Amino acid sequence: MASLRIGLAQLDPVVGDLVGNRALVLDAYRRASDAGCDVVVFGELVVTGYPPEDLVLKPGFVRDTRAVLDDIAKETGECIAVVGFVDIGSGEHSATGRPVIHNAAAVCGHGVVHGVYRKRLLPNYDVFDEERTFTPGSGPHHLYEIAGVRVAVSICEDIWYADGPVSEQAAGGAQVNLSLNSSPYHRGKSADREIMLAQRARENACAIAYVNQVGGQDELVFDGGSMLFDASGALVGRLVNFRDGLLVADLDVPAPAKDATLPVTVLSSTSRATGPRRGNEVQPVFTDLAELYEALVVGTRDYVRKNGFTDVVIGLSGGIDSSIVACVAVDALGADHVHGVSMPSRYSSQGSKDDAYALAEALGIDIRTISIEPAFQAYLEMLEPSFSGRPADLTEENLQSRCRGQILMALSNKFGWMVLTTGNKSEMAVGYFTIYGDSVGGYAVIKDVFKTDVFALSRFVNERAGSEVIPEAVLTKPPSAELRPDQRDDQSLPPYDVLDAVLEMYVERDMTAAEIVEIGLPSDVVRRIARLVDINEYKRRQCPPGVRVTEKAFGKDRRLPITNGYRG
């Protein structure tokens, strides 16, 4: 039986930062080499960051990417490095005239690139549109002998299909598959991955080293959770989710039952490993709510910091949405970098003002009060001649929200703070927000979190802290925008448990209103909700990005027309 010391490098690259990503790769490579690794595996497109989107349509960017890859290769020694990058192919696309490029992985060692694997299966669904930019790899597979073990390379989507490249490589003699990934988080995906990978290893009698990146990139957040499986499908190593790190493990590999039928390039015949055996480091997984909360924290932290901001400002209403956003921001950036603003009006209750200050005190963030009354009154007086003879309605409510948006943006401009928007997915879905008002900002932290989950997360925060971080009154009082006397959300919307159930079917599962009614829900409620979702598409298009935590968020993976006459 052979032994292969493998390093899984779980990193947080920045899209487009080729110099910074080069430094990340080389730092991890040196640590893996010093640990005696025979091979260290990095994430998919680690050189460019993922997803690079239309950056790869710039020929200069692709050339620069290759130059960085060559620099990395020159720094390698006996420890083999498998590094994700954008490879230049042959010829041009007939339709666009652009050069052919590939999502690829380079097998580097001894100062050179020994070979390149090009991703065969390109995802073109949900948040992925790789067919738009990349050309799939083709031709015979190739194996590499490292420490006397035959290994193959695959990239992300390649491993998800039972009859895909991984099975072909195993049939051709691969004993270990090195899988490079940039697989974004959504709730439940971590468990799905583990089940799939165990099955893939077991059915092919081939060990799998699965590396996933971590960190946030615009709407996407990557949860890491890199894993190592032996040929029986047993999990023998796992890195913690949402943290960068390097897993070093000694993998026992049974002698091959047959000779390889695929070509093999010999890179090393014996293992470099010395010292005590490394392995069996299987980090525990998060609970569902802990995982969801951590995704929001990591997505927010990386969006703020990777875009050059240090501080954020949040309008604290004393409600549950702004409360959970403030908690996430503090855990992401630290209390000293989070600034709260209470912006009361004539309709704000004393209880809500007190709750905002109690939250700020519990979190240790600064808070200031800026009343919107002077600005709101000025607007009313300015518009009175035009509005004369018309009763107050939604217009005056929206004016208050827009006053608050202007104040937050003024503070952002003056102090360089990013505004964090506090709307949840339930409100985003049905348009229960004011465009150019409470929707202004740089990032929408809970944009993909239903209201019912906001309540669950808020209770989770308090339970985890063992104290009342979010005041109990915030958790128990009826939600209200407080834009008119005695206003409650349930005067304008169905109860949130009903609303969220319909939205989950209509938005995330793409069911029609008629199909939802057939399940047994009231037709008038369902059709009203569906209508609100449809007519507010134009508002959502003008909202800031936010962390994607479900299988279908408002953003990259839900592309419905604004002008839309279908009422299914």
What DSSP character marks residue 508?
I
d(CA 459, CA 324): 10
**529 CA to centre of own chain:** 27
**270 and 293 housed in the same domain:** no
Say which CATH number the domain at 237 has. 3.60.110.10
Residues 134-165 pLDDT 10s: 999 999 999 999 999 999 999 999 999 999 99
Output 272-276 pairs: Cβ under 8 A, ≥24 positions apart.
272/5, 272/36, 272/37, 272/38, 272/78, 272/79, 272/147, 273/3, 273/5, 273/36, 273/37, 273/38, 273/147, 274/36, 275/36
**11 and 60 housed in the same domain:** yes
**490, 518, 536 — which closes off a domain?**
490
Alpha-carbon distances of 26 from 152, 170, 210, 491, rounded to whole Å: 22, 30, 20, 58
Residue 1 confidence (pLDDT): 79
d(CA 85, CA 71): 12
Say which CATH number the domain at 424 has. 3.40.50.620
* Res. 94: pLDDT tops 80: no
* Res. 485: pLDDT tops 80: no
| Within a domain: 565 | no
| Within a domain: 544 | no
Residues 188-203 pLDDT 10s: 999 999 999 999 999 9
- 436 in helix, strand or coil? coil
If you count DSSP H runs as helices and E runs as strands, how many of each does the chain have, helices first? 16, 20
Residue 520 confidence (pLDDT): 92
Residue 257 confidence (pLDDT): 81
Please answer whether residues 145 and 264 qualify as being in contact, where contact means their C-beta atoms are separated by less than 8 angstroms: yes
pLDDT > 90 fraction of the chain, expressed in percent and rounded: 86
**267 and 326 housed in the same domain:** no
44 included as an active-site residue: yes
Residues with Cβ within 8 Å of residue 161, at least 6 apart in sequence: 121
| Within a domain: 503 | no
**242 and 310 housed in the same domain:** no
| Within a domain: 178 | yes
Which run of H or of E encompasses 265? strand 264-266
Residues 541-561 pLDDT 10s: 999 999 999 999 998 889 899
**274 and 369 housed in the same domain:** no
**403 and 280 housed in the same domain:** no
| Within a domain: 55 | yes
Q: Which residue is catalytic, options 79, 119, 157, 508?
A: 119
* Res. 490: pLDDT tops 90: no
Residue 69 confidence (pLDDT): 98
Alpha-carbon distances of 37 from 81, 140, 240, 312, 411, rounded to whole Å: 10, 28, 20, 42, 51
Residues 37-58 pLDDT 10s: 999 999 999 999 999 999 999 9
**431, 464, 490 — which closes off a domain?**
490
**281 and 326 housed in the same domain:** no
**142 and 169 housed in the same domain:** yes
| pTM of structure | 0.94
Domain span at residue 471 reads: 289-490
pLDDT > 70 fraction of the chain, expressed in percent and rounded: 99
Residues with Cβ within 8 Å of residue 116, at least 6 apart in sequence: 87, 104, 105, 106, 107
The whole-number average pLDDT for the span 363-379 is: 96
| Within a domain: 517 | no
Residues 9-25 pLDDT 10s: 999 999 999 999 999 99
**285, 309, 336 — which closes off a domain?**
285
**119 and 250 housed in the same domain:** yes
| Within a domain: 552 | no
Tell which residue, 454, 471, 444, 453, has the closest CA to residue 363: 471
Which run of H or of E encompasses 19? helix 18-34
**200 and 293 housed in the same domain:** no
| Within a domain: 366 | yes
Residues 117-128 pLDDT 10s: 999 999 998 889
**295 and 162 housed in the same domain:** no
Q: Which residue is catalytic, options 156, 206, 327, 543?
A: 156
**401 and 472 housed in the same domain:** yes
Residues with Cβ within 8 Å of residue 255, at least 6 apart in sequence: 1, 2
Q: Which residue is catalytic, options 44, 294, 397, 427?
A: 44
* Number of residues in the chain: 568
Domain count, the chain: 2
